[in-house]
Amino acid sequence: MAKIYLDGEFVPEDEAKISVFDHGLLYGDGVFEGIRAYDGYVFKLDEHLDRLYRSARAIKLEIPLDRDEMEEKILETLRVNGFEEAYIRPVVTRGTGSLGIDIESCTDPSVIIISKEWEALYGPELYEEGLNLLTTTIRNQPKDGLPPTVKHLNYLTNVLALMQANTWGADEALMLDTNGNVSEGGADNVFVYRKNAVYTPPVINNLPGITRDVVIDLLNDLGYQVKEENLGLAEVLTADEVFLSGTAAEVAPVAEIDGRKIGDGEPGELALQVKEEFGKITGTEETGTRISQST
Ligand SMILES: *Cc1c(COP(=O)(O)O)cnc(C)c1O
């Protein structure tokens, strides 16, 4: 049974519990990260820590560990479990408080670090066949509401989006923003290849994905400029290729959206190329932080 880091201690999974008065549970008041370790190295750990602390600042949440301590606790969680390859989920909640929504009663934020041996988000056959997406009627939050650029615990928008997609037989949701611009997948960023150019929506109506940045770099290395521009749904539906990026999903080609075949309805060549290049840079010293203590 895996051990979970919970407020300073490592506890077995079935004993890792927090109060029913935690505002993370009551109000989705908190932030989180999704990180992966490959082959003994935590991929882009600095970038994930950076985003975690920015997310916390955005909601005025003071993380009780400093950055170095958080980094150490993440690595320690993996060591305690003997994981070289894992999905890691740090969560910081507002902590236990009154039933009121104000943050004043919550003086003790909780820090949780879950790690699990977990394969890619979608089944292996979906990476070979390409995903089937449904454009959901659930719009991503507008930037003047719940900020879509902050990785917070208020995830019901995404839950409802995926639920609707799954209800209608699709593997993943495609979300628009409240202006009708394409925003992102249920929990991944979206890339569109059409007429020899690659596009991805600018990070104002979607989450600034670490994988998104990595994919942009890989595309640049392959000789493609990536245009960060707003896209309408028609531009996506008539694209030559569409693919998703995310820590959990990695790089996932899309074969169909709303009953339309994307390109020839098979994973695109560029998507597969990016996926392959992505596989080459994980689990290395250049992109990762070593789990085992250096001697
Ligand atoms: C975490 C997340 C992503 C992907 O970000 P990565 O850093 O690449 O994992 C995209 N969209 C949403 C809504 C997310 O929560």
Residue ranges of domains in the chain, CATH in brackets: 3-116 (3.30.470.10), 124-281 (3.20.10.10)
Per-residue pLDDT for 222 more than 70? yes
Residue 294 confidence class, pLDDT cut points 50, 70, 90: low
Helix (H) or strand (E) holding 220: helix 210-221
Instruction: Kindly report the average pLDDT of the chain as a whole number.
Output: 96
Pocket of ligand 1 (CB under 6 A): 34, 151, 158, 184, 187-189, 207, 209-212, 245-247
Q: What is the mean pLDDT of residues 239-268?
A: 97
Within 10 angstroms of residue 18's Cβ, the number of other Cβ atoms is 16
Instruction: Report pLDDT for 119.
Output: 79
Per-residue pLDDT for 290 more than 60? yes
Residues 21 and 175: their CA atoms lie apart, in Å, by 32
Residue whose Cα lies nearest atom 3 of ligand 1: it is 188
Residues 34 and 118: their CA atoms lie apart, in Å, by 12
Q: What is the mean pLDDT of residues 30-45?
A: 98
Residue 202 confidence class, pLDDT cut points 50, 70, 90: very high
Instruction: Report pLDDT for 67.
Output: 98
> How is residue 295 annotated by DSSP?
-
Per-residue pLDDT for 129 more than 80? yes
Instruction: Report pLDDT for 295.
Output: 55
The number of the ligand 1 atom at minimal distance from the alpha carbon of 210 is 7
pLDDT tens digits, one per residue of 257-266: 999 999 999 9
Residues 140 and 150: their CA atoms lie apart, in Å, by 12
Q: Are strands 189-194 and 9-12 parallel, antiparallel or unpaired?
A: unpaired
Of 3, 44, 151, 275, which is the active-site residue? 151
Q: What is the mean pLDDT of residues 121-148?
A: 93
Respond yes or no: is residue 275 known to be catalytic. no
Nearest to 266 by CA among 257, 275, 256, 276: 256
Residue whose Cα lies nearest atom 6 of ligand 1: it is 209
Asked if residues 30 and 153 have their Cβ atoms less than 8 Å apart, the reply is: yes
Cα–Cα distances in Å, from 162 out to 128, 137, 154? Answer: 21, 11, 15
Per-residue pLDDT for 283 more than 90? yes
Residues 292 and 32: their CA atoms lie apart, in Å, by 24
Per-residue pLDDT for 198 more than 70? yes
User: With pLDDT > 90 as the criterion, what percentage of the chain qualifies?
Assistant: 95
Angle of CA points 115, 52, 27, to nearest 5°? 85
Helix (H) or strand (E) holding 240: none
Maximum distance among all alpha carbons in the chain? 56
pTM, 2 dp: 0.96
Residues 186 and 243: their CA atoms lie apart, in Å, by 13
Per-residue pLDDT for 18 more than 80? yes
Q: What is the mean pLDDT of residues 164-175?
A: 98
